[in-house]
Amino acid sequence: MGMRKLAAFLALLFFAGSAAYADDFLPAAGAPPPALSGMVTRLEGDQIRISLGKDKGMAPGKELYVYRMGRQVAQIRVTKVEDLYSWAQAVAGQAPTEIRVGDVVTDQIRVSGPSPQPPSQESTSAPNLPRTGDFAGDPLKEFQRQMVRHSKSFFFAGMSGKGAASTYNPSVPWWDMAAGIYYPAASWGTMQKYGYTDPYTSVAVIGSIIGSVAQYNQLKTQAGKTKSSIEVILWDHHVADAYVMYFAHKEAAYDLNRISELRTRQMQERSLERNIVFQVRIQNNSFMNMQFSPFNWHAYLVDSRGRRYRAERYDGSLDTMVAPQQQVEGYIYFPRYDPETGSPIPDPDRNNFTFLLEDIYGKGARFHFNE
């Protein structure tokens, strides 16, 4: 009986502790739901695109508030919802001209008050980063997740044969093999002409030729297994927003006004309102230098009708020669609007377009993106 009573007592303690522990994860009674927070990413006439979609619970008819520097500038109503973004219009009586790209969008009214005081010296816990969608956790991991999500890669070996980029082989120095065969053979022929050859010399020449061929085949095999690559990352408002939250976290900028400033500056610096921007990384895993200059002859933007657009500008680093086992990266900026008609290049309904890589040692690739 003593053991049964002890077991019952321990079980009671376990379930009581579990219940108390679980209460720590339940919201307090009457606590308001967490505020939604996004940003204005595009303006087209009276249409306002925001970085909140079905994934954040948006629905047509939902009303939101637009803030800049802590001041409410407009109230908007959602009209169309996509998976990752929504379209909205200013409610009656509101001036849509007051809204700018980079403005903060939230579903809660903010009450003006005194500026928050910094935590006291006795406080050991840092203030929490404002909850903005998925950024409430680790901002670095969220930024990395968005980069991977918007990234596509083209792998090439530059070798002839199956899976090759062309018959020209920048990865394997075939001329080294030719030299390794020619010079020993030429020397042996000269020595034979003047009668200076012996069996040992012949064996040495044959061994040198066999070594050159074997080294070439070994390098060719390694180059086939280790391919070079060109990685393309679309910098849309999702990536920019994640970067801003990561940057704000590193700068310990917890004030929403400061974060709004960072968002506006990021949109301007990246020229995301005017351009479709890609980050390009060229990784050379071969044994020879490689170069794609001018790079804008190798990269184009293609709309849903198949019309090609050249880049307005790009970083000069993409023109530089890439040494073996090295990487270079830079940004390339395509027009967001057709230079002739002024209409948006991305399909208005699907917001899709294609990044075209061509003439990469005779090969190319098409990467399809959606904003």
Read off the pLDDT of residues 110-127 as tens digits, 9 standing for 90 and up. Answer: 544 443 343 333 333 333
Question: Which domain covers residue 68, as residue numbers?
Answer: 37-110
pTM exceeds 0.85, yes or no: no
pLDDT at 357: 95
Q: Compute the radius of gyration of the chain from its Cα atoms.
A: 31
Q: For residue 324, what pLDDT is reported?
A: 86
Three-state DSSP state, 326: strand
Q: Are residues 339 and 255 in the same domain?
A: yes
Residues 271 and 361 occupy one common structural domain: yes
What is the per-residue pLDDT for 334? 96
Same domain, 189 and 285: no
pLDDT at 13: 47
Closest CA to 287 of 230, 229, 231, 220: 220
Q: Which CATH number goes with the domain that contains 337?
A: 2.60.40.1150
- For residue 177, what pLDDT is reported? 62
Q: What's the pLDDT at 321?
A: 92
Nearest 10 degrees: CA dihedral of 275, 63, 261, 280?
-30
Provide the token pair at 268: 């301007």
Query: E-assigned strands of 286-325?
Result: 299-302, 308-309, 313-314
Same-domain check for residues 233 and 292: yes
Q: Which of 83, 110, 137 is the last residue of a domain?
A: 110
Do 297 and 352 share a structural domain?
A: yes
> Which stretches of the chain drop beneath a pLDDT of 50?
1, 12-31, 111-136, 159-171
- Count of domains in the chain? 3
